[in-house]
Structure 1
Amino acid sequence: MRIHAEQALFGEIRGGHGLRETSGSRSLTAELTPRLDLPDTAPPGVEWSPFLSGFPHHDRYVFARTFLDTQATRAGMVLSHALVVPLNDLVSASDLRPLLARLMARLHAPLTVAPLDIELGNDIPPAAAELPAAAAALAQRSSGPAVRLGHQDFDDLVVSLWARLWPTMRRNFAFRLSFGPADLVETPTPALVCTPHTLVSRWRGHQRLDTVSLVPESLAAAALTSQEQGKVLRSFAYEIGAEATSFSELPLLERAYQLTTDAPDSIDGTITAVRLVQRLSPEPTRGKTGKAKLLERLQHQLETATASDVLTLRNLDMQGFENAPAVWTDLETWTGNSTFPPAQDSFFTQMLQDAIHTSRSTAHWGKAVLGGLRKAAGRPSLAFAHAVWRWVATDPELTRPLWAAGGPDDAWVGRLVETAPRTLPPGAAQHMIDISREEGLFRLHGVTVSTTFPPCEAARLHLSVEPRPFADGLKLALRNGTPEQVVDCAIDIGDPRMIDLAGTYVGRTPALLADLDFSTPTVQALWTVSLKCDLNAWRGPANPQAAFYAALADLIDGRPVQDGLIRSLAHTPLADLGSFSLRSKLWGKINGPDLDALTRATVQGWLEKASAGPPPFLLEPHLQTAVLNSPELYGQLGRMHAGAAVGIVTALPEFDEYRFRTWLRAASSYRQRVTPSTWEAIGRLVLDRNWRYTASDLTGMLRNGREDIRPALRACLPMIGLMDKWRYGLSAISHTERWKAIEDLAAELYPAGPNDRELWERAGGRTADLDQSGSGRTRWHQALQRIERGNEEPRLKHLLEEMRNDYPANQELGFFANNQNFTKER
């Protein structure tokens, strides 16, 4: 390739060093003047002339050969011949020999200073003997140049090194003579210097070529010498799109290569390799293949990474990687799928802190971490929720960032509630308390206040936040409290929601009510709620009946009673008000189902007690009516012994005679043994109630042979007919009563009088003797008086015989006819 070069000559001008002539821009060339003088005053006796130098300047590259000017007017002056060439053209040329050959070789200035067109090739000159040492020094230097002792043959080393440099490195490659580190002040700093042998002591601690092994010990050095082992590094550089611009990048390139080929690999090594590749090849359009392989390796390792591994990614800049978004997506997935083991909590909290503080991490990393936490919050697993509480306990300031990451999703909030710890330091809990209050998340609020406040204080705080009538978080606020504490707290606070909750505890354990004061509305309300949960809570008070009676007394006196208390207790054993002294006043104070239930229970209790003994108490009208209307009454009467049944009927003034007769027939038919005293009680009841049909039934029973009922008939004797008294010997019958009995029977059988159906004449009497006026009974009375006074005809015996002829089945007629003592009288 042909390259255009401008010439310039620098030397003594008016006693100083300056630009003598130039074929190019004088202003540009004049800028080179300081750099084409000696770098410092040459020490006495030191041999240094001539020396070759080269350096980039703006868009030009300058090659110069400098001589000690022995013809100058003063000592120490130099003569420098320079060639200034376009930098972009020069870096593509590998062989500098045609160019350097145009520099003056002796202390004789060129005859003319004119532009030159020089043909440069890409042949690779033979390697100088010192090339391996120079390559090794340049490939490992940390600061300062590689130092070559002596200026002779320095050109050969430069030429062989230039030929093997990457074009991008040639742009910044500078070299010259140096008398010591102190004169290295320009930019770019020379990478390679030659120095007189006598000044070697000045370079202690620097990379001297004479102390470096001639065998390359690194791939970077091998790459500078074009040795075979260096080709893999050049190939790697090509694969990742790296173009080293300085020697300091070569160790980085070698380290990146080693990290990508090490076995076994590690995520730390891969991350370091990514950082190095990003530095070496920042343009995403270059090295796509190598970069993609490297990121695939990182993505694979990320699957098994720990939080500490992920934390090392926080400052990773991958702008030079076209596939970088895939890594951040995988990081988000890794975070979202993590099980958040407690052993890694410190790393996770550090991750969160770095993610929310943009100055601590890259935007992509922070976004991926926070996005992953949001996914973790949306998963059904409880691992993240457990972790959140642990992290909040460690660093309360993480609460709001974690909340922002998780979002107020109902399911996520539910998992936080489910995993809440039993205790938290107040400072750790306060942020979550504030958030849940602000967001109206009352279950979360309740469970959080429970972690840091005593039960009653937690409940009071929660109730002040959650609007009535809701109490979603109240139970959670009290979850650390014992049932006893919950009950005490309910009584102390008095909020209906608190009472409702405590009532459920009492419903399960009624004994919690044992020592409470049931005269207070709060305790009554608590009892009412517990009864709604379980009616067995009626057993709770130490004296349940007294507690109930006190509530009933309040109702009677017009004091407020907890709504629902009486209704619930009306369905418990306490509903039997048999021993309630104010019972009769109560019935007018209640109505509806409550009245029905209490009445029914009291009736049942009365019946049960009365079935086993005397009726326990006198029934007021309301209960009498209720007993009479009770479906159980008649069934129980049929099952209990007769004495108890009679006692119950006796206590019921309105008991129906028909039902009593039904019972009596049933009791008689079962051949139940009835004591004389019971029969007597039955007779008194019949007499007292004037139950004539029942008296007749009793008479009939005696007539049918039930001799045991005589005590009943004697007890109701005033209701027994004369005939039955006389016939069955129930009592002594007077002469008058006997004739009265005959009269009654005759008037019944012959209502028209003695001559009805010619009875009187058939018996031997004369119709003319009879009084024809008056009713049939009156005429019978008069006719029987005639027989009683002894009139001859008819005789009583004959009259009864004729009557028996008409009514042969009439037992009463048979009794009179067979009663000879009576018939013989007349």
Structure 2
Amino acid sequence: MTNRPNKRRTRALRIHAEQALFGEVRGGHGLREASGPRRLAAELAPQLDLPDTAPPGVEWSPFLSGFPHHDHYVLARTFLDAQATRAGMVLSHALIVPLNDLISASDLRPLLARLMAQPHAPLTIAPLEVELGNDFPPAVADLPAAAAALAQRSAGPAVRLGHQGFDDLVLSLWARLWPAMRRNFAFRLSFGPTDIVETPPPALVCTPHALVARWRGHQRLDTVSPVPGSLAAAALTGHEQGALLRAFADEIGAEATAFGELPLLERAYRLTTDAPDTIDNTITAVRLVQRLSPEPTRGTSGKAKLLQRLLHQLETATTGDVLTLRNLEMQGFEHAQAVWTQLETWTGNNTFPPAQDASFTAMIQDATHTSKSTRQWREAVLGGLRKAAHTPGPAFAHAVWRWIAADPELSRPLWKASEPDTALEGRLVETAPRTLPLSAAQHMIDIAREEQLFQLHGAAVSTAFPPCEAARLQLAAEPHPIADGLELSLRNATPEQAVRCSIDIGDPRMIDLAGNYAARTPILLLDLDFSTQAAQALWTASLKCNLNAWQGPANPQAAFHAALTDFIDGRPVCDGLISGLSHTPLADLSTFSRRSELWAKLSGPDLDALTRATVEGWLEKSSMGLPPFHLEPHLQTAVLRSPELDGQLGLMNAGAVVGIVTALPAFDEDRFRRWLRAAASPGQRIPPAAWEAIGRLALDRHWRYTVSELTSMLRHGRNDVRPALRACLPMIGLLDRWRHGLSAISPAERWKALEDLAAELYPAGPDDRELWERAGGRSADLDQTGSGRTRWHQALQRIEHGSVKPPLQQLLDEMRNDYPANQLLTFFANNQKFTTER
């Protein structure tokens, strides 16, 4: 298509034309003669009759008509046939030419010259070869008015009053029409709007002046300004302003085929040149260009510029702008895919501001329903949503929750479009609102359950249900032993509510979760009834996380002792409770009345831990005074085997140690002596009462070596040991008692002590090694019968009574000569009171 038809061509156009004559045939209107196929000509008969009965007195003959018929174009002149047998009959002469040839011709005057000029049939009806000139017929006075009327795209034809000069208007208009528009151009006489029933309808009609009233509301040429008011009208008149529109049409590859397209073409031109550079205007222009130029290979340069403009505007488009694209067809644009790619990018990079939620929900609705948008738009939007769904950051996830709150029915289409993965689930969980309408939450709950996305399920149920009910729903959805979403289902619960729910529900997974809360805040266990399995299980779970949770119950010790009583009596006790508490201060069973029954019921680590704690508790209390309770055999053995016992004894005061050892009948004497030596080491002070307790212990246990140890201490200068020795006096020899002044000694006891020492040193008797004679005595004075001890007893009695010599002092001195290192002999020899005593 050219910008403006050339007024002259280098070659004339030869056209083959068939003729046909129509008129009265057997009392009616029909085909009388035809030079070409009669069947084709016969089809034209109805259109070459009067359109309706002519009103009486109305002048209308002759009139020119033209219209396309299949691949031919028909030009005809019709006259009133005064020779007909009845009134109102017409005579029509038609030329039938190939449509494709005729639309290339600008000047129809040679053809119209071949039509009959009077109501007389041509002499011959034969094919014609007509050479059409290329000159433009002159523009008639009413051409601008006709162009303006035709360019307004109003319903019905443009109406010219009067048939005189109608031929010139048609010739003038035809010459200036675009070839494609000529293809459908039809014109004729009309008596009123009611006779226009054919397809295509005539675009231009002439009507008798007398019938002007019938055309009220229609585009009459006499009411239209003769000056072109639009570029479309200017293009029809050949005005120079029309060249802009023609150039634009060439640029976009548009080929107007009907007058109604001219306003569309002008609007598209205005939108791309004069109108504000907005995306709305650009989208409207794209729609118009698509309609005007549907062939993608035509107008590629103009279309490319328009697309580039749209792509640029899409970068800053709003959701409302994008919605206007949803039914945009762009098959006429060779590179339309760039728009859909840009739309996908726009959607994928969107931050989904809350202010645009209404538009986004509408966009998603349209994108997920095939009847509401084009395939390309849907694919671009859904592709962008998938990209956004898999983009890090919370924007899309936040938007999803808002969208389904606004329209719950979007949940499944949106889920399907997003193609969610684990990362998106995580973002949805993180951004889940605290509350949602049940209708909205239920959709997400159902999806999460079906997809086995348990964390999302937990977050979703928390938005619409009270904590306990949300937890029940979560536990019902998750298979045992999984509970990934349970904590999320309780995210709106207080710790107190979570603990209470765990008791009410009793599910182990719920117990474990509430145990975490109780571990952090043990006071949550304060008012629970620990005679129930659920409460015991909760306490057990909290202990696994934090052993300090033992303090949670109002009376922890009573609760534990009650559980131990149940255990002893064979009633159920939560598995792990005893184990957990065996590592807390409650493990000291010092005050548990049925402790001795428990040991036989326990085994393994629990037995060891409770035993160790009770032993430690007993030792700790014992270190501060008397042992607090009697140790049963199991505990006695445990105390004695305690690897820390000796170390602890070394840190205690002596009185406490004696109390501990007293409570342990099996405590070994050697072990006690080791402690005693350490406790009595230089610089260590033991109070008299403690020494006395040590002596009583040695006496009670008949610890002979301990007594000897004590006696040795005294001999080596430890005078503070005397209370111990006095306490175990029955186990101390008379000589030691006398020598160390531990108790009063009678004369008989003193002589008895000397007798014992003499018999030990000289077992054969007083004359052993001639001792008696060396001391100044006479052997004849000694008894010669009996044992050495007996003879010593008799000899010393005589010395005591002064009946024999030697004197006692001389005897002791001689004995010292034999045993100079013997301290007892020295003691006796130096004790003048004894040696002089008689």
TM over 0.5: yes
Give the counterpart of 1:490 among 491, 494, 502: 502
Say whether 1:166 aligns with 2:174. no
Query: 1:541 Cα deviation (Å)?
Result: 0.9
Alignment of 1:507-546 (within 5 A): 507-546=519-558
Query: 1:353 Cα deviation (Å)?
Result: 2.2
Give secondary structure in 2 for the equivalent of 1:381.
coil
Q: TM-score, normalised by structure 2?
A: 0.93
Partner of residue 701, structure 1 = 713
CA distance, structure 2, for counterparts of residue 337 and residue 372 of structure 1: 8
CA distance, structure 1, for counterparts of residue 495 and residue 625 of structure 2: 44
* Structure 1 contact 332–371 (Cα < 8 Å) conserved: yes
Give the counterpart of 1:281 among 293, 300, 309: 293
- Which deviates more, 42-51 or 452-461? 42-51
Query: 1:623 Cα deviation (Å)?
Result: 2.1
CA distance, structure 2, for counterparts of residue 420 and residue 408 of structure 1: 15
Q: TM-score, normalised by structure 1?
A: 0.95
Query: 1:107 Cα deviation (Å)?
Result: 3.7
Query: 1:62 Cα deviation (Å)?
Result: 1.0
Say whether 1:346 aligns with 2:358. yes
CA distance, structure 1, for counterparts of residue 259 and residue 140 of structure 2: 19
Query: 1:695 Cα deviation (Å)?
Result: 1.6
CA distance, structure 1, for counterparts of residue 765 and residue 106 of structure 2: 174
Say whether 1:178 aligns with 2:183. no
CA distance, structure 2, for counterparts of residue 727 and residue 343 of structure 1: 110
Q: Which consecutive unaligned segments of at least 5 residues does structure 2 have? A: 1-12
Query: 1:537 Cα deviation (Å)?
Result: 0.9
**Counterpart amino acid of 1:823?**
T
**Offset from partner CA, 1:562-615 (integer Å, 9 cap, x none):** 222122212222122111111222222222222222222222222222222222
* Structure 1 contact 149–194 (Cα < 8 Å) conserved: yes
Give the counterpart of 2:826 among 801, 810, 814: 814
Partner of residue 722, structure 1 = 734
Q: 1:532 to 1:772 in 2, by over 3 A?
A: farther
- Which deviates more, 215-224 or 677-686? 677-686
Query: 1:192 Cα deviation (Å)?
Result: 1.2
Query: 1:169 Cα deviation (Å)?
Result: 0.6
CA distance, structure 2, for counterparts of residue 379 and residue 623 of structure 1: 66
Partner of residue 504, structure 1 = 516
Say whether 1:106 aligns with 2:118. yes
Alignment of 1:220-231 (within 5 A): 220-231=232-243
Give secondary structure in 2 for the equivalent of 1:46.
coil
Give secondary structure in 1 for the equivalent of 2:95.
strand
CA distance, structure 2, for counterparts of residue 410 and residue 773 of structure 1: 114
Partner of residue 460, structure 2 = 448
* Structure 2 contact 389–420 (Cα < 8 Å) conserved: no
Say whether 1:54 aligns with 2:66. yes
Query: 1:15 Cα deviation (Å)?
Result: 4.3
* Structure 2 contact 390–420 (Cα < 8 Å) conserved: no
Partner of residue 461, structure 1 = 473
**Counterpart amino acid of 1:42?**
A
CA distance, structure 2, for counterparts of residue 637 and residue 58 of structure 1: 126
Give the counterpart of 1:298 among 300, 310, 324: 310
**Counterpart amino acid of 1:561?**
V
Give the counterpart of 2:774 among 749, 762, 769: 762
* Structure 1 contact 56–173 (Cα < 8 Å) conserved: yes
Give secondary structure in 2 for the equivalent of 1:228.
coil
Partner of residue 621, structure 2 = 609
Partner of residue 82, structure 1 = 94
Partner of residue 250, structure 1 = 262
CA distance, structure 2, for counterparts of residue 135 and residue 15 of structure 1: 40
Give the counterpart of 1:435 among 431, 447, 452: 447
CA distance, structure 1, for counterparts of residue 314 and residue 67 of structure 2: 46
Say whether 1:233 aligns with 2:245. yes
Give the counterpart of 1:479 among 488, 491, 503: 491
* Structure 1 contact 51–67 (Cα < 8 Å) conserved: yes
CA distance, structure 2, for counterparts of residue 821 and residue 36 of structure 1: 183
* Structure 1 contact 406–412 (Cα < 8 Å) conserved: no
Give secondary structure in 2 for the equivalent of 1:65.
strand
Q: 1:151 to 1:704 in 2, by over 3 A?
A: same
CA distance, structure 2, for counterparts of residue 21 and residue 664 of structure 1: 155
CA distance, structure 2, for counterparts of residue 824 and residue 16 of structure 1: 195
**Counterpart amino acid of 1:687?**
L
Q: 1:87 to 1:263 in 2, by over 3 A?
A: closer
CA distance, structure 2, for counterparts of residue 553 and residue 18 of structure 1: 122
Partner of residue 5, structure 2 = none
Say whether 1:203 aligns with 2:215. yes
**Counterpart amino acid of 2:48?**
L
Q: 1:541 to 1:14 in 2, by over 3 A?
A: closer
Give secondary structure in 2 for the equivalent of 1:685.
helix
CA distance, structure 1, for counterparts of residue 815 and residue 274 of structure 2: 145
- Which deviates more, 580-589 or 638-647? 638-647
* Structure 2 contact 781–804 (Cα < 8 Å) conserved: no
**Counterpart amino acid of 1:280?**
L
* Structure 2 contact 24–30 (Cα < 8 Å) conserved: yes
Query: 1:256 Cα deviation (Å)?
Result: 1.3
Say whether 1:19 aligns with 2:31. yes
Q: Which consecutive unaligned segments of at least 5 residues does structure 1 have? A: none
**Offset from partner CA, 1:306-364 (integer Å, 9 cap, x none):** 22222222222222222222222222222222222222222222222222222222222
Say whether 1:153 aligns with 2:153. no
Alignment of 1:385-400 (within 5 A): 385-400=397-412
Say whether 1:711 aligns with 2:711. no
CA distance, structure 1, for counterparts of residue 411 and residue 788 of structure 2: 116
Query: 1:752 Cα deviation (Å)?
Result: 6.2
Give secondary structure in 1 for the equivalent of 2:107.
coil
Partner of residue 273, structure 2 = 261
Give secondary structure in 1 for the equivalent of 2:411.
helix
**Counterpart amino acid of 1:349?**
T
**Offset from partner CA, 1:359-387 (integer Å, 9 cap, x none):** 22222222322232222222222222222
* Structure 1 contact 436–445 (Cα < 8 Å) conserved: yes
CA distance, structure 1, for counterparts of residue 33 and residue 692 of structure 2: 165
Partner of residue 10, structure 1 = 22
**Offset from partner CA, 1:152-209 (integer Å, 9 cap, x none):** 2222221121111111111111112222222222222111122233332222222122
* Structure 2 contact 147–237 (Cα < 8 Å) conserved: yes
**Counterpart amino acid of 1:28?**
L
* Structure 2 contact 590–618 (Cα < 8 Å) conserved: yes
Say whether 1:355 aligns with 2:367. yes
**Offset from partner CA, 1:642-689 (integer Å, 9 cap, x none):** 333332232222333333333333333354554433322221111112
* Structure 1 contact 141–207 (Cα < 8 Å) conserved: no
CA distance, structure 2, for counterparts of residue 773 and residue 125 of structure 1: 191
Give secondary structure in 2 for the equivalent of 1:803.
helix
Q: How many residues align?
A: 826
Alignment of 1:314-713 (within 5 A): 314-713=326-725
Alignment of 1:723-802 (within 5 A): 723-750=735-762, 754=766, 758-765=770-777, 780=792, 784=796, 787-788=799-800, 792-802=804-814
- Which deviates more, 628-637 or 313-322? 628-637
Query: 1:780 Cα deviation (Å)?
Result: 5.0
**Offset from partner CA, 1:74-111 (integer Å, 9 cap, x none):** 44333322211111111111121222222223344322
Query: 1:561 Cα deviation (Å)?
Result: 1.9
**Offset from partner CA, 1:100-151 (integer Å, 9 cap, x none):** 2222233443222211111123333332222222111111131111122222
**Offset from partner CA, 1:374-417 (integer Å, 9 cap, x none):** 22222222222222222222322222212211234222222222
Give secondary structure in 1 for the equivalent of 2:477.
coil
Give secondary structure in 2 for the equivalent of 1:371.
helix
Give secondary structure in 1 for the equivalent of 2:41.
helix
**Offset from partner CA, 1:5-51 (integer Å, 9 cap, x none):** 11222233444433232211122112222222222333333333322
CA distance, structure 2, for counterparts of residue 126 and residue 768 of structure 1: 198
CA distance, structure 2, for counterparts of residue 686 and residue 791 of structure 1: 44
